[in-house]
Amino acid sequence: MSSMSASRTCTPLISLVVPCYNESAMVGLFHEEVSRQLRSLQGVGYELVFVNDGSRDRTLDHLRELAERDPHVIVIDLARNFGKEAALTAGLFEAVGDVVVPMDADLQDPPELLVEFLAHWRNGYDVVLARRVDRSADGLLKRSTAHWFYRLHSRISDVALPENVGDFRLMDRKVVDALKALPERHRFMKGLFAWVGHRTTVIDYVRSPRAAGTTKFSGWKLWNLALEGITSFSTLPLRVWTYLGALIASVSILYAGFIVIRTLLFGADVPGYASLLTSILLLSGIQLIGIGVVGEYVGRIYTESKQRPLYLIQARYGRGPSSALPQTQDEV
């Protein structure tokens, strides 16, 4: 057995990072089911790091109750809703386990896979991905758009995203430390997970329907997340406008030559205003789209240059300030 594998036969601490936004109907069920699975693991310590991302229902109240009666529960209450990517980052900074597993609170990702996760980790893998082979629990539109997004992102980006793999995965401590060292404020976590690399394996599973409650990701939020992913890992949208401009200029030069030759051979005629107006509106629209794409990247530069913290922590329950952060630091 290699030294790396031998070092993983000791009693590990597994941290589950669970971002929560308006999940009052789910946190109790999630805690009960996941705790049952974790207690069944022999020779494994665990902690449940819940991150309340500015919930407007009674999610925080339920989480505080869990923290009071279960010493394994840690609750991080953010000052407001910063978004799932920020909440997930906060959980990664707070988790102190040898391995970290991000999970959603909706129980669509089966806790039973934790056994397989740990088995692959003990065999030397630093990252164990959970790939959804059956997404019938999701709507047809969501499945179709997700499929095309993964394909598009992998084609235009230097970092290929594994298709049908979400945030649910196991990561070794060195992988988590690598993620924590990345300073960017715009964080597309699926892309960052892929970017840090390390030795990776994949296990397949069937995605279940939600046990209770409703999804918090609307079509608009998913669209913005897709734009975030594309602009975070590819500059192709910027380069496209160079090629498009060259194409339009080439066509214009050819058409100008055609007009000159036609005028010399047949004389001048009076062109219609309809075609002129159409051309002006078309080119103006293309220019505005190009400016919008440039503005998207400029906006990212502007946000990064301000160096505002990614999130602010309002309170912690169930444990003092985490050893994963400086004792006085409540922001990242």
Segment 40-62 shows an average pLDDT of 87
pLDDT of residue 149: 65
pLDDT tens per residue, range 127-170: 898 888 766 555 565 666 666 666 766 666 777 777 778 888 89
Q: How confident is the model at residue 68 (pLDDT cuts 50, 70, 90)?
A: confident
Cα–Cα distance measured from residue 101 to residue 169, given in angstroms and rounded to the nearest whole number: 6
Segment 284-310 shows an average pLDDT of 76
Cα–Cα distance measured from residue 194 to residue 200, given in angstroms and rounded to the nearest whole number: 10
pLDDT of residue 7: 58
Q: How confident is the model at residue 305 (pLDDT cuts 50, 70, 90)?
A: confident
pLDDT at 319 over 70: no
Question: Higher pLDDT residue, 1 or 94?
Answer: 94
Cα–Cα distance measured from residue 34 to residue 53, given in angstroms and rounded to the nearest whole number: 20
Q: Which two tokens mark 244?
A: 């498009």
Beginning with the edge strand found earlier in the chain, give each strand of the sheet holding 165-172 in spatial order: 200-206, 127-134, 165-172, 99-102, 13-20, 45-52, 73-78, 313-317
Q: Does domain 3-222+309-317 have CATH number 3.90.550.10?
A: yes
Cα–Cα distance measured from residue 37 to residue 239, given in angstroms and rounded to the nearest whole number: 49
Cα–Cα distance measured from residue 263 to residue 268, given in angstroms and rounded to the nearest whole number: 5
Q: What is the mean pLDDT of the chain?
A: 76
pLDDT at 191 over 90: no
pLDDT of residue 6: 42
Contact 304, 231 (CB under 8 A): no
How many alpha carbons lie under 13 Å from residue 125 in its C-beta half-sphere?
A: 17
DSSP conformation class of 160? P
Segment 295-318 shows an average pLDDT of 80
Contact 286, 168 (CB under 8 A): no
Nearest in space to 91 (alpha carbons), one of 110, 79, 76 = 76
Tally Cβ neighbours within 10 Å of residue 98.
Answer: 19
- Can you list the positions of beta strands (E) in the chain? 13-20, 45-52, 73-78, 99-102, 127-134, 165-172, 200-206, 313-317
Q: How confident is the model at residue 226 (pLDDT cuts 50, 70, 90)?
A: low
Domain assignments of the chain as residue spans, ordered by start: 3-222+309-317, 236-306
